[in-house]
Amino acid sequence: MKPAAQTIRVHVDTTFVPEQSDPDTDRYVFAYTITIRNEGAVPAKLLTRHWIITDANGRESEVRGDGVVGEQPHLNPGEGFRYSSGAILETPVGSMRGSYQMVDDAGHCFNAAIAPFTLAVPGSLN
């Protein structure tokens, strides 16, 4: 049996955190809030995350792990899950991209892509 089409939408809001940053030591802290919404026809559970974080020098780091913020949310069609986390860069500008591995209630695994988004100190980009 062919799996049902899955549509998981991922929306990201980012914020620079100046009180935790120290430009003199190349430490730039960013917070991000992610909203994951199941716009598909069947329930699905988030199993793992995979992030690729790139700074302005082209240095990449990868993060893999189970769930998000200690949870593996199960989303029925139309439901969403929101969480906040953070990243530390050595440059005032960088980006993140990645994916969530999901499994629907029929046991079919699929990836939900997280489109690249920018992390930037206000005023650092034209």
Domain that holds residue 65: 8-119
pLDDT of residue 70: 94
Say if 93 falls within a structural domain.
yes
Q: What is the CATH number of the domain that holds 102?
A: 2.60.40.1470
pLDDT of residue 53: 98
Say if 126 falls within a structural domain.
no
Nearest Cα to 121, choosing from 32, 18, 51? 18
Six-digit token string for 14: 């980012």
Nearest Cα to 41, choosing from 93, 1, 5? 5
- Domain total of the chain: 1
Say if 38 falls within a structural domain.
yes
Say if 125 falls within a structural domain.
no
pLDDT of residue 2: 43
Kindly give the confidence (pLDDT) of every residue in the chain, 126 residues in length, as a single tens digit, with 9 standing for 90 and above. 344 457 999 999 999 999 999 999 999 999 999 999 999 999 999 999 999 999 999 999 999 999 999 999 999 999 999 999 999 999 999 999 999 999 999 999 999 999 999 999 998 876
Cα(75)–Cα(5) distance, rounded to whole angstroms? Answer: 15
Say if 44 falls within a structural domain.
yes
pLDDT of residue 91: 98
